Structure 1
Amino acid sequence: MKTKLALLSLFVSTLTFSEVVNLKKFDIEVPSQFMVPYSGDESEFKDGFKTGFGSALAFKNINSDGTIEFYALTDRGPNADIPKYLKDGKSVPGKFFPAPNFTPSIGILKVDDKKAEIIDKIELKDSTGKNITGLPLPLNRIGSTGEVALDLNMNSLGYDINGLDPEGIAIDKDGNFWISDEYGPFIIKVDKNGKILEKLEPGNGLPEIVKYRIPNRGIEGLTIDKNGNIYAAVQSTLNVDGKTKDTAIFTRVLKIDPDTKEVKTFAYPIDKNYKSNSAAKIGDIYAVDENKLLIIEQGKQKGKMENLIYLVDFSKADDITTLGNLESKGNDLKIKLGEKKLVVDLRKHGWDTEKAEGLTLLPDNKTIAIINDNDFGMAISEDVSPYHYNENEKQLYLNNKATNQKLTLKKNTETSQLWLVTLKEEI
């Protein structure tokens, strides 16, 4: 597939930059049959929500006609922040779910010279073959975020014991998908039809310490190297015992043997210019080779949003799996962390969306594909901060005065994009 020239940046140890020979951008098309149905009153969503197949990306194949196909993953579905929610006098976190029956899915994304379009999807199913949802897990279950799920009338939607918030995807040698999740965090093995075959969780397949992920910032990126090892990156710093999210200077990357379940853990050093260390977020990862990953790191640094792609090498890094709460050590770490070099600064080349969340590499080992999460093209119309809801009274308040107002949705102006960036040299 031929694409047009653009210039990007490759960071090397001498702080010089190497030429990039291609940059092509697409707005992702989602045909009506793959939209998310919505029964609300807002006319702008009469055709449903534009499904956000932008939480992760994996290469599928190049067809004989030169078109490229990817697997593109959704997250838990359309959701938005709720007002302060009081139950028995206590504030409870939560989210609006305007389409609570949405099933997280793997999309097939086809790209030619002119467009990028979703052509099919695979819905995720539990071990019995029943479609799951993206609703949060019941309270006190492994992976629960403690959230309530609400409709726009502030009614509880309940929980889903099999609920997932997918964020990373890769395919193994047998054609099974491996998907990471932000809730648990979990890693699940899924067959070609979307049925869950296996589930790894903190203390059972995953190191127990990862249960201290910041809520809704579980395992954001997942990839498989040429030897079949699974790598999974926690999105942000761990908050061990509620104390370390801003003392930690690294986030954890797991290396898992899917057969023996042996786990190694490496420390990925986050950048140093965040207002608080917990503001650093991993978008996705891709295994270039064993122990060498491309990784998206993003967040506001010195007040400016950054979306950066690094190459990180863990070949000399220490395995910290059994070393406990290193997050509390701050800068006083006595371990070897991963070594990273900047490959692409997306913002310098026109990236204007908040979240670069999918990343993969084409077989030429030069072309990086990046996709963003557009949050299903929706947001809450109102600023929810002046509102609160008293669950015991079943009453919504605006500036502490009871109101019958109903909260509504609006369009999110961010488009869903795919970028193909070709470097001059192989990674």
Structure 2
Amino acid sequence: MKKNILFVDDEPNILDGIKRMLRPFREAYDIRFCENGSRALELMGEQPADVVVSDMRMPGMDGAALLNHVQQDYPHAIRIMLTGQADDTAVLKTVTVAHQFLAKPCAPERLKEVLARATALHDRLTNGHLKNLVTGIGTLPSLPSVYAKLQETLKDPEASLDDVAAIIEQDMAMTAKLLQLVNSSFFGLYRKVDSPARAVKLLGLDTIKVLVLGIQIFSEFKAPGQKAALARLWQHSMAVAQCSKRIAMEASDNLDLINNSFIAGMLHDIGRLLLLSHLGKDYAEIIQTAEKQGIRLETEEAARLQTTHADIGAYLIGLWGFNGDIIEAIAFHHRMKELEADRLTAALAVHLADHYYYLRYPDQVVGKPPVLDTAYLERLGYAEASAEWMTQCQSLLETDDDQ
């Protein structure tokens, strides 16, 4: 079935250029064009689009307002902002409603790549309710103690960028949202930023203050009865991030692999955060069933939700424009045999780190612990090395326990 894409821009020349650019894809996509937000909403009412690509500055209803309407009324739609004129304040207005940002003029290959990826994501989740839930999300909640510390630090006139970065890089929701923003094409960076600390320094303290204190890009986790589960998830994610990075550093001097392994480790269970914060008691029942029956959490998730936290997390991070290595790590860290690779990847680093964590802390397992894919390790020739990596990670975890 063709995916429906709607382009909205008040400049006819821009729309004509996009029409010409995408003409070869008429068999793959059903593409519509209009010149203002009001008409776009009329077209959405007639036939909801799978992807909406909107200019920012338009007379009447601007792109931020349009995408806000789309987010509320058509949560399944992937929302992309295409702009070349908006100032920083205008762009920041859209950070909780746009999944991705593209700068004008957008290179044809870049636009085609983003559209192909966005439309492919629609087939990743088959549960319509969950697809609407994930696609409709603008931000995710943070650990209350971390959120409070960040608010306090930003109000301190003596606070430095390093102080702020040290807090943000401790939280998976903050890290994901900040990297989504700083890696958008709007900022015109020549390479991906894969460090929360680097992202903070690029944006600057004033912008971070606007995002956190003004626009409130981050929020506090408030689900009743679930804060203890969030604290355990936070501890697990931080530890897996550190171990994944250590494994990558032991195996390679490839900085992209090392940084991707750290970010993927931190975000590998972001799907669980989403489910904890938005499904509440229903997800708590899934966790309780897995624990009582001694089965894998993903098994019970699949039975109840027709998907798993890994696929949900990968879907969200894909929407937010993260690179393929990180998306793969989130999606496949529990099922490595489905990932075709002939080398160490961020996915394998996370798979190992996740296993090592639960060996060290068996009381933290929900249901049955994840199984190490020894056949996969042997096929790639890492059977012996993985034993040394486990020793390194156990030492790292012990050091964290002592602090």
TM-score range with shorter-chain normalisation? under 0.3
Which structure is higher in strand share? Answer: 1
| TM-score, length-scaled by structure 1 | 0.26
Which structure is higher in helix share? Answer: 2
